[in-house]
Amino acid sequence: MTSRFNKIEKQQLQVQTFQGGRPSSTPNCSSKVSEKYSCKATVYPRKMTTAPLRVVVTGAAGQIAYSLLYMIAKGDVFGPNQPIILHLLDIPPMMGVLEGVVMELADCALPLLHDVISTDEPSDAFRDVTAAFLVGAMPRKQGMERKDLLSANVKIFKVQGEALNKYAKKDVKVLVVGNPANTNALICAKYAPSIPKQNFTAMTRLDQNRAQAQIAERLGIPVSQVSNIIIWGNHSSTQFPDASHAVVEEHGQTTSVPEALQDAAWLNSVFVETVQKRGAAVINARKMSSAMSAAKAAADHMKDWFSGTIAGKFVSMGVISDGSYGAPKDVIFSFPVTIRGGKWQIVQDLEISDFARNLLDITGKELEEERQEALQIIEA
């Protein structure tokens, strides 16, 4: 079942929409679905001439999507001048809930939201999309590790890889959020051979944001003054949150985090463990997994990928490993990256201590094991 946003009669609307950079007096009503429901009720600022970007969000009826969709549709990710067409995918039993989400999106009256397509058909969801947020998957419950989700979730990412391969733009940027995110991203890329492997990433930005918040709190400064924290490896409890290259900027002065803190013992123990186990701590407290913070991190990740990183700053993303820093090749490993022109590059030549080496090896080994297990499940 596929349906579109606005069921208001076309004739009643004073609509201005823009296609291919040129304003047109009627909305995009070319498909049969659009004829049935008519199109947008949104009146755009007159100077908006950018063509809409098609963005898919899977798991659109779920809790992360509930926060994420609003951020995307109001311009937090692709900018305040970029109209958006949202493609929302969920499974058939969730179509009723999704309908409610679509109603709420309409009720937000967001000027950038050009259209919404809600569907349980991957072919409609992935058609012509430029950005893909792959959120839809089963979340972990109390007492589970994220890799316990492999058997349930990895098959979803095979199907979605195949659909991306067939229907999405060849330069689509894919962010996998659904756990275990790194290995799901690897499987998704494997089944989308016509799209470069560099276009498949996994989310470790939530871990980066958590780490940044921990350091800021410890130093009693705003998070905006802390940067260049690295998350190495897997989005799991083996990840290595590394503040040894991070900096604090205060009163025009830059200081390294270890120097500002003067507490190596805390950095190498409490800090690392708190970030590694933060997801579980939220589940224990909320009885549900992190959603608002996950949505914010997904928005941060995609925003930086599309618009680039600031000179001198880096961010962490799970990307296809080329073996940098002794990480295993051909797994999705979280590295520090800089981004220019929509392309990420792994930051090279950072010093790795013996302490860091040990933790990098542990998380790399886990990713190799997950890859093997995922391939066994897929090929069984």
Ligand X SMILES: O=C(O)CCC(=O)C(=O)O
Ligand Y SMILES: NC(=O)C1=CN([C@@H]2O[C@H](COP(=O)(O)OP(=O)(O)OC[C@H]3O[C@@H](n4cnc5c(N)ncnc54)[C@H](O)[C@@H]3O)[C@@H](O)[C@H]2O)C=CC1
Which residues contribute to the annotated binding site for NAD(+)? 90, 153, 177-179
Is 226 among the residues that bind ligand Y (CB under 6 A)? no
Report the sign of the C-alpha dihedral through residues 38, 39, 40, 46, in that order: negative
SS3 label, residue 235: coil
| Shortest separation between residue 192's beta carbon and ligand Y, angstroms | 16
282's contact among ligand X, ligand Y, none, with CB below 5 to 8 A by partner kind, is ligand X
Is 238 among the residues that bind ligand X (CB under 6 A)? no
Is 181 among the residues that bind ligand Y (CB under 6 A)? yes
Is 135 among the residues that bind ligand Y (CB under 6 A)? yes
* Known catalytic membership, residue 235: yes
- Stretch binding ligand X (CB under 6 A), from 70-78, 262-270, 277-285, 318-326: 277-285
Name the residue with tokens 């981004």: 339
291's contact among ligand Y, ligand X, none, with CB below 5 to 8 A by partner kind, is ligand Y
Annotated binding site: 90, 140, 146, 153, 177-179, 210
Distance CA 129, CA 307 (A): 18
DSSP codes joined into one string, 22-65 = EEESS----SHHHHHH----PBPPTT--PPPEEEEEESTTSHHH
- Stretch binding ligand X (CB under 6 A), from 9-17, 71-79, 139-147, 312-320: 139-147
Is 179 among the residues that bind ligand Y (CB under 6 A)? yes
Strands, E assignment, the chain? 2-4, 17-19, 22-24, 53-58, 84-89, 113-119, 131-134, 173-176, 200-202, 226-227, 230-232, 240-242, 247-250, 253-256, 315-320, 332-340, 343-346
156's contact among ligand Y, ligand X, none, with CB below 5 to 8 A by partner kind, is ligand Y
Give strand pairing partners of 319. Answer: 333
Gyration radius of the chain's alpha carbons:
21
* Residue among 202, 214, 206 at smallest CA distance from 178: 202
Burial of residue 224 (number of CB atoms within 10 Å: 0-12, 13-18, 19+): exposed
Identified binder of ligand X from the candidate list 208, 290, 309, 316, rule CB under 6 A: 290
The residue nearest ligand Y at its CB is: 62
What is the amino acid identity at position 123?
S
178's contact among ligand X, ligand Y, none, with CB below 5 to 8 A by partner kind, is ligand Y
Annotated binding site for substrate: 140, 146, 179, 210
Give me the 29-68 binding string for ligand X, x by CB under 6 A, dash otherwise: ----------------------------------------
Alpha helices in 168-263 (DSSP H): 181-190, 205-219, 257-261
- Stretch binding ligand Y (CB under 6 A), from 8-16, 270-278, 283-291, 349-357: 283-291
Give the DSSP letter of residue 308: -
Give me the 103-122 binding string for ligand X, x by CB under 6 A, dash otherwise: --------------------
Name the residue with tokens 């998380």: 363
361's tokens: 């090896």
Is 94 among the residues that bind ligand Y (CB under 6 A)? yes
Residues in contact with ligand X by the rule CB under 6 A: 139-140, 146, 179, 206, 279-280, 282, 289-290
Residues in contact with ligand Y by the rule CB under 6 A: 58-59, 61-64, 89-91, 94, 135-140, 156, 177-179, 181, 203, 206, 235, 289-291, 294
Active-site residue list:
235
